[in-house]
Amino acid sequence: MASVKDRPPEEVRAAYRLHDEVESNPPSRKLFESNPPKLDRFQRKVLDDLNAQGYAAITFADLFTADLWGQVAADAAVFSKEMERQLAGGVAPPATVKKVKPGKPGKPAKAAKPEKVKKDKAFLGRRYKRDLLTLDSPWLQVASSQRMLDIVNSYIGMWAKLSYADQWYSPPRGSEADRVGSMRWHRDYNDQHLIKVFTYLVDVDEGTGPFEYVPGSAKTGPYVNEWPWAPLGETYPPADEFDRRIPQSAAKTFTGPRGSMILCNTSGFHRGGFATKNPRDVWVFNYVSPAALQSLVERNFTVDPSTVDHLSEVERFALS
């Protein structure tokens, strides 16, 4: 199947509707209904918050062990230090370069050579570009865990697919810099049935590019019909018009200590990454419905199917 970017928008939208209404999502809903998860009290609270607000703010320790946090934090530190080293040398993180050289079968693609940093340009270091991941990765263990999937699947009402797993590193840009790209208010085009999970790898205050969200702009609420979600729709409204129609007081800003987690339906309006004083370092998971993975979304990683045989059916489904 051709890349989403290479297909006419009307063709992509028609494919999404077909998979959402007929081909992919109905069977996924039946799988969920036939295998309802048993949520504990805390998982139920997270689900209630998602249903009521479109987001839930928790900590990594609420869901997982201190030992697992130690593993994921140590793993993330390797990439963080590499970004610091490269930026100190005056080059952009290579993951921000758009041109990627194809990899050989079974090997990850190689990013092009780093480019020089320009003062007026924003850079976002992304760790993965269609890399081959294994369950040796503690982050992939977290993302594909049934404990996380039970919450995600209960919210979207079907078995979800993990479509994205990455670490983002954003250097500070100064208070006079302009917001660009995803630093502006927008909806994710990926799906209307989705959950994005952010895990802060550093303490995040107002100067560290905190995630911001407008409750009541996904599924139901007072702002759901403001530039409503549609496949490949108008995801970035004009800034002045947005401020006129949705007051800043309606937004929620997520500052918090290292280890904070935010689960959020990002088909609602959100923005983040506008780091003015301190580097922003965050791990990101994206879960979508099967319809999105069939028509709107391309994974940024691959998984060797032979390495997931020991997982539960719902975990294998998320990685398939």
Percent of the chain surpassing pLDDT 70 = 88
For residue 122, the domain's CATH number is: 2.60.120.620
Question: What's the one-letter identity of residue 216?
Answer: G
- Exposed / middle / buried, residue 89 (Cβ in 10 Å: 0-12, 13-18, 19+): exposed
Instruction: Write out pLDDT tens, residues 69-125.
Output: 999 999 999 999 999 998 887 665 554 433 333 333 334 334 333 334 444 355 679
Domain count, the chain: 1
Instruction: Write out pLDDT tens, residues 243-266.
Output: 999 999 999 999 999 999 999 999
Q: What is the pLDDT of residue 87?
A: 84
Handedness of CA 62, 67, 72, 76 (dihedral sign): positive
* Domain span holding position 14: 4-319
Residue 213 forms beta bridges with which residues?
Answer: 252, 270
* Contact yes or no for 300/190 (Cβ under 8 A): no
Q: What is the pLDDT of residue 3?
A: 67
3-state helix, strand, coil in the chain (%, to 5): 35, 20, 45
